[in-house]
Amino acid sequence: MVESKQRQLRLKIDLGGEQVDIVRIRGTEEIARPFHLTVEIVAPLGEVDMLPHLSKAVVVSCYEDEKFLRHFHGLMVDARMTKETEAGHNYALTLVPWTALLDQNVDYAIYQDKSAVEIIRETFERAGISDFDLDGLTKTYDKRVYCVQYAESDFAFATRLMEEEGIYYYFDHREDRHIMKLCDSQSTHPTADPEYLEYNPTSESIVLVTSDMRASEGIGYHMVTNWHEHVTSNLRSKVTVRDYDFEKADRPVEALSSSDADHPNDDREVYVYPGNLVEEARARHLGEVQLESHRKARQVFSGESQSTTLTVGSHVEVGNHPHARMNTKYLLTKTYHSLVAETYRSSLTEKDEDLFHVRFEAIPASRPYRPDRTVPRPIVRGLESAVVTGPEAEEIFTDEWGRVKVRFHWDRSGSPGETSTCWIRVSQTGGLGNLILPRVSHEVLVDFINGDPDRPIVVGRVFNSQHKPIYPLPEHKTRALWRTKRYGNTGQYPETRELDTGKPGVNELRFEDKGGSEEVFIHAERDMNTRIRFNETLHVGHDQEIMVGHDRKLEVGNDETIDIQNDQQRKVANDQTLEVGRDQKEDIGSTREVGVGRSDTLEVGQDLTIKAGTTIKMEAGTSIEFKVGMTTIKIDNMGIQFKGPKLTLKADAMLSASSMMTEVKGSAMLTESGGIVMIN
């Protein structure tokens, strides 16, 4: 015969030194969910002010026969008076974990090149929280290039990251605090106390022990009853994750995760797009996490026990079940505790089993646990304005893809301009042939692919008080233009002239559409280069003026034709050189006049022909000289001189020479001959 003894359960509460009695504690704990506990107390009439205790720690300690069992530790976030009696005021206190403090704010933050675990740690520590433990994490998590907390509470943000990565948590209750234990594998979970629950098929045995509060040492309240199996038809056995990486635009980033089917129809696929990834390994990890999350609930076990020390997140073994497959190790995923202080049991009307009771849910320890997706990724509904950033004193900051960094107006981190955001692609107008980069301090409009704050893209630019419209408006409302500002302090070019705006250092293409003043205006701050691979046609309806401040060079690969319908004037202030490689032909319809201020030299390599239809007139102020070899003809003010080795004058009809004096002289011989020689 087993000797029985009374189970004396005592509850102790620490409420900041207040003298109160505890009646009961009940509530739920669940993996990957904040716990929620309700503590019923009796306080002396009018002696306890609950307001100062809000958001402060409260601990409930459980003892059996003066032996410590466990603590329930949490923050009191609600106190509601339920009734008033001669004994005092009855209150129902709500205890929750410190996550409630992180769930009351709304914040924006940017994280770069950090893993989800690093971001979670930083989020908690920034909020002043240190009661968390990362030792249960066994995997190495990829760094995220860019991750944004967008209009989320700190806890919602951290929860979202955990759910995406397959990380979950439970709480370890201690006397002075409760610690969040983060895990990603069943291998890191502790063993429950007790580590073994004996299956008892009838609830009456538990009720009997509870009612009489009798049990042998370690027997009775270390049993499990109402043991049930719940299986559900989860048809999802495949998860495909796909995304697009612009740096690998020729193929999608995709990975398939699958598991063995449990029944014939267990072959449904979940197709996830976008997956927020750039590597196939990352896609595979996210797919496995989602698949394990979908399939963890396909087989869930539930039971009841008197063992108040059963805690969520621990492993317990069930034995003595008639079905051998049930006798295995389980992970406790959810518990509901209901504990009543010994001194108040007689005053409560609940059934006996509700006075000292634990209900729980569990999954086989062999199956991975992954949290459900409860926190959706925030969606940015519309465009946002931001300012382009860069290193100090840098005006254009970009990378090989023409991307820029910006600072959103909600960003109060004060991070340097070169690290304000990730590199953000910039939409260019007119197809892929345009490139106009927004510069540092320019205000831009940012959209988000699929509304995802982690995937910004610059889609436009706008004026503001620091960067106003180039020309005053509405005065110049008829102008459309492109203007770019000179980059770098290269100094002024003395040969250039300022624009009519008085703002040098820009390139500009401007269109004026005002009636009567229509204009296309092009200004190059320094050089302008035009390259045409085939034909160019320039048609000027009226006048054209070209002003070249320094040199001008024209090179024609083949022919050049200039057709001037009226006059042409050309003025060369200094020298002019004309070089013709072969022939030159000049055709003048009327008169030609050439004025040479000093000398004129005509040199012909072979023949020279001068032909006049009527008259050739040559006039020199001093002399004219013709020379062929040793023979010369010289005309000057004194007369004409013929000189050469031989001089022949021949007239077919008559040769006449007349002068006041004529001298014919031969140094050696003089011969005159003729049919008739007349000398008078």
- Geometric angle at alpha carbon 674, from 672 and 679, rounded to 5°: 65
Strand partners, 484: 507
Greater model confidence, 209 or 299: 299
Predicted confidence at residue 496, as pLDDT, reads 52
Does 26 fall in a domain?
yes
Q: Write down the mean pLDDT value for the chain.
A: 85
Q: Is the pLDDT of residue 177 over 70?
A: yes
Q: Is the pLDDT of residue 360 over 90?
A: yes
**Alpha-carbon dihedral sign for residues 110, 115, 117, 118:** negative
Greater model confidence, 642 or 490: 642
Give the pLDDT mean for 145-157. Answer: 97
List pLDDT tens digits, range 84-93: 888 889 999 9
Strand partners, 627: 632
How many folded domains does the chain comprise?
Answer: 2
Q: Is the pLDDT of residue 381 over 80?
A: yes
Query: Which DSSP state fits 16?
Result: T
| Contact of 178 with 98, CB cutoff 8 Å | yes
Categorize the per-residue pLDDT at 11 as very low, low, confident or very high, splitting at 50, 70 and 90.
Answer: low
Q: Mutual orientation of helices 280-295 and 154-165 as an angle, nearest 10°?
A: 100
Give the pLDDT mean for 560-566. Answer: 87
3-state SS, one letter per residue, for 502-514:
CCCCEEEEEEECC
**Best mean pLDDT range from 83-87, 153-157, 229-233, 344-348:** 153-157
In angstroms, rounded to a whole number, what is the distance separating the alpha carbons of residues 542 and 517? 15
| Contact of 50 with 92, CB cutoff 8 Å | no
Of 460, 459, 458, 480, nearest to 469 (Cα)?
Answer: 480
Does 74 fall in a domain?
yes
Percentage of the residues of the chain whose pLDDT score is greater than 90: 46
Which H or E run contains 161? helix 154-165
Q: State the pairing for strand pair 132-136/178-183.
A: parallel
CATH code for the domain in which residue 20 is found: 2.30.110.50
List pLDDT tens digits, range 480-531: 998 888 887 665 555 555 545 455 678 899 999 999 999 999 988 888 899 9
C-alpha of 365 from chain center: 41
Residues in the chain: 680
Predicted confidence at residue 40, as pLDDT, reads 92
Give the pLDDT mean for 295-299. Answer: 84
Of 340, 327, 94, nearest to 196 (Cα)?
Answer: 327
The tokens describing 198, both together, are: 């004996």
Does 14 fall in a domain?
yes
Helix (H, G, I), strand (E, B) or coil at 118: helix
Q: Is the pLDDT of residue 397 over 70?
A: yes
Categorize the per-residue pLDDT at 216 as very low, low, confident or very high, splitting at 50, 70 and 90.
Answer: very low
Q: Quick count: other Cβ atoms within 10 Å of Cβ 7?
A: 18
3-state SS, one letter per residue, for 450-465:
HHCCCCEEEEEEECCC
Give the pLDDT mean for 86-101. Answer: 93
Percentage of the residues of the chain whose pLDDT score is greater than 70: 89
Does 91 fall in a domain?
yes
In angstroms, rounded to a whole number, what is the distance separating the alpha carbons of residues 136 and 186? 9
- Neighbour-count burial of 146, counting CB atoms closer than 10 A to its CB (0-12 exposed, 13-18 middle, 19+ buried): middle
Give the pLDDT mean for 324-351. Answer: 82
Of 373, 363, 186, nearest to 293 (Cα)?
Answer: 373
Does 662 fall in a domain?
no
Does 436 fall in a domain?
yes
| Contact of 168 with 130, CB cutoff 8 Å | no
**Best mean pLDDT range from 312-316, 566-570, 659-663:** 312-316
Q: Is the pLDDT of residue 83 over 70?
A: yes
Domain boundary among 438, 462, 486: 462
Cis peptide before 194 (omega within 30 of 0): yes
Q: State the pairing for strand pair 268-272/236-243.
A: parallel
- Neighbour-count burial of 235, counting CB atoms closer than 10 A to its CB (0-12 exposed, 13-18 middle, 19+ buried): middle
Domain boundary among 462, 480, 502: 462
Does 679 fall in a domain?
no
- Geometric angle at alpha carbon 70, from 296 and 178, rounded to 5°: 65
Range of the structural domain that residue 29 is part of: 9-97
Domain boundary among 404, 429, 462: 462
Question: In sequence order, what DSSP letters do the residues of 187-252 get, joined into one string?
Answer: GGPPEEEEEEEEE-S-HHHHHHHHHHTB--TTSSTTEEEEEEEEE----EEEEEEEE--GGGTTS-
Query: Which DSSP state fits 345?
Result: G
* Range scoring the smallest mean pLDDT among 38-47, 128-137, 250-259, 651-660: 250-259
Of 187, 186, 192, 200, nearest to 319 (Cα)?
Answer: 200
**Best mean pLDDT range from 214-223, 251-260, 542-551:** 542-551
pTM: 0.80
Categorize the per-residue pLDDT at 47 as very low, low, confident or very high, splitting at 50, 70 and 90.
Answer: confident
Categorize the per-residue pLDDT at 235 as very low, low, confident or very high, splitting at 50, 70 and 90.
Answer: low
Within 8 A by CB and 6+ apart from 64, the residues are 7, 8, 9, 10, 308
Give the pLDDT mean for 613-633. Answer: 88
Residue ranges of the alpha helices (H) in 506-625?
A: none
Strand partners, 34: none
Does 218 fall in a domain?
no
Categorize the per-residue pLDDT at 576 as very low, low, confident or very high, splitting at 50, 70 and 90.
Answer: confident
Q: What are phi and psi of 251, to 5 degrees?
A: -155, 150
Categorize the per-residue pLDDT at 266 as very low, low, confident or very high, splitting at 50, 70 and 90.
Answer: low
Q: Is the pLDDT of residue 242 over 50?
A: yes
Give the pLDDT mean for 545-554. Answer: 86
Q: Is the pLDDT of residue 215 over 60?
A: no
Amino acid at 594: V
